[in-house]
Amino acid sequence: MPAHTELNSKVDFDNAIGTQGKYVLVHAYSGQVLDKAEEFAQKYASNCDFYAVDTAKEPKTKDYFGITQTPAAMLYKDGKQVVKVEGKTAEGMGKIAQLLS
């Protein structure tokens, strides 16, 4: 079973990001969610809700999230963006892992 819930509309995005009291990570990708992203989501599932959006199918999401490079990860808490990692660098994902630990 996938660790990410797929987002398909602006309402879905807003509801996910607006979650209170828990971290929310939105994974923006093109084509398919990589196994590494699924493993990361499974590892931190107790601390965070994980969502995914395929920017190839939903190109407007790049503008919505201000994404210039995929894959990207945006971490939110109580409706506010905490961290955005474009290109999903090891350093950037390490920052997210540290917050979720």
Question: How would you list the strands of the sheet with 72-77, edge to edge?
Answer: 5-6, 48-54, 23-29, 72-77, 80-86
Is the whole model's pTM more than 0.85, yes or no? yes
Q: What is the pLDDT of residues 11-48, one digit of tens each?
A: 998 999 999 999 999 999 988 888 888 899 999 999 89
| Phi and psi, residue 83, nearest 5° | -150, 145
What domains sit in the chain, N to C, each tagged with a CATH number?
5-100 (3.40.30.10)
Q: In whole angstroms, what is the distance from residue 8 CA to residue 61 CA?
A: 10
CA distance 19 to 76: 9
- Specify the pLDDT at position 1: 57
pLDDT in tens, 39-96: 999 999 998 999 999 999 988 888 888 999 999 999 999 999 999 999 878 898 899 9
Question: Residue 60, Cβ neighbours under 10 Å: how many?
Answer: 10
* Per-residue confidence band for 10, with pLDDT thresholds at 50, 70 and 90: confident
4: which 2 tokens? 């990410």
